[in-house]
């Protein structure tokens, strides 16, 4: 029954799909297909892509001292933020209508509660990362971060600042690995198949374990593209987020074997 999809999927014995080994060439191809989707469906990106720069600017205005942790943490929730764009790529792949309003068809997905549950998990991970970053700052400097310029001076002109960079990078790496492992294919998987969160997460983790180097490279690509988007005063996110989201759909197609015909 569908009400149990969040925990066990629609079947009492969930089927775990096979995962493939891929290489850097596959990442290049997934990015090329993501860019092609972006160029083919610009109206959806004008509408959806601008949500993220606007949200980023508002976030920066209200939480400027924590801007760097928030920027880094954006990648943790990115897979959930791109859910509507996965749907656009899925529709295009199937030859269906790809007008922007279909991005909201995900609310009628058979796995919507599973998608929301996994999204909530990523938001919890994001909140834990922000808390850890703020706690580390307080532990090293004995005060809450205040003015943005003061933070910059403190970080680069003091030994504690370099410790903050070192420890913060290490802690952020752990959060990034966890988030990437559980979500790299989970959301496209849930859109594509009638399955629950455990199967989706296990499939994602298995895909990462089968391709550690390639998935690490993908994580670096995501971080670099998002960093460029932020450096362009957030406006670059209007391109970066859609391209990465569409590319993630095609990456899922490469990593996870298709469902057996019934």
Q: What are the sequence ranges of the domains in the chain?
A: 19-255
Phi, psi values for residue 65, rounded to 5°: -60, -25
Tell me what the mean pLDDT of segment 215-222 comes to.
94
Phi, psi values for residue 19, rounded to 5°: -120, 150
What lies within 8 Å, CB to CB, of 53 at 6+ separation is: 234, 235, 236, 237, 238
What distance in Å separates the CA atoms of residue 229 and residue 101, rounded to the nearest whole number? 25
Please report, rounded to a whole number, the percentage of residues in the chain having pLDDT higher than 70: 76
Tell me what the mean pLDDT of segment 33-60 comes to.
69
Name the one residue in this structure whose structure tokens are 């700052």.
Answer: 137
| 97-106, 202-211, 218-227, 245-254: the lowest-pLDDT one | 97-106
Work out the mean pLDDT of the chain and round it to a whole number.
80
Name the more confident of 63 and 199.
199
| pLDDT tops 60 at residue 227 | yes
Please name which of 116, 120, 85 lies closest in space to residue 103, comparing C-alpha atoms. 85
Tell me what the mean pLDDT of segment 236-250 comes to.
88
What distance in Å separates the CA atoms of residue 142 and residue 135, rounded to the nearest whole number? 10
Name the more confident of 31 and 168.
31
pTM score, two decimals? 0.82
Q: In the structure, what pLDDT confidence band is assigned to residue 101 with cuts at 50, 70 and 90?
A: low
| 74-78, 125-129, 193-197: the lowest-pLDDT one | 74-78
Tell me what the mean pLDDT of segment 220-232 comes to.
86
Q: In the structure, what pLDDT confidence band is assigned to residue 103 with cuts at 50, 70 and 90?
A: low
| 15-29, 126-140, 222-236: the lowest-pLDDT one | 222-236
What distance in Å separates the CA atoms of residue 188 and residue 150, rounded to the nearest whole number? 42
**Quick one: which H or E segment has residue 63?**
none
């Amino acid at each position: 029954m569908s009400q149990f999809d969040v925990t066990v999927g629609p079947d009492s014995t969930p089927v775990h799909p096979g995962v493939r080994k891929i290489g850097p060439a596959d990442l290049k191809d997934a990015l090329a297909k993501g860019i092609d989707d972006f160029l083919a469906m610009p109206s959806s990106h004008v509408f959806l892509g601008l949500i993220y720069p606007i949200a980023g600017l508002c976030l920066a205005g209200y939480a400027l001292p924590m801007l760097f942790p928030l920027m880094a943490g954006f990648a943790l929730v990115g897979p959930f933020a791109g859910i509507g764009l996965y749907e656009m790529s899925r529709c295009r792949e199937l030859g269906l209508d790809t007008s922007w309003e279909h991005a909201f068809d995900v609310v009628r997905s058979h796995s919507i509660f599973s998608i929301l549950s996994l999204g909530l998990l990523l938001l919890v991970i994001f909140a834990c990362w922000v808390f850890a970053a703020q706690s580390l700052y307080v532990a090293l400097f004995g005060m809450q971060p205040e003015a943005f310029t003061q933070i910059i001076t403190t970080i680069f002109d003091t030994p504690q600042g370099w410790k903050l960079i070192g420890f913060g990078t290490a802690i952020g790496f752990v959060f990034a690995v966890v988030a990437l492992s559980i979500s790299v294919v989970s959301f496209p998987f849930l859109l594509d198949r009638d399955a629950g969160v455990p199967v989706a997460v296990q499939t994602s983790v298995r895909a990462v374990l089968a391709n550690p180097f390639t998935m690490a490279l993908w994580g670096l690509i995501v971080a670099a593209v998002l960093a460029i988007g932020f450096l362009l005063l957030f406006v670059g996110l209007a391109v970066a987020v859609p391209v990465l989201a569409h590319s993630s759909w095609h990456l899922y197609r490469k990593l996870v074997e298709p469902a057996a015909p019934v």
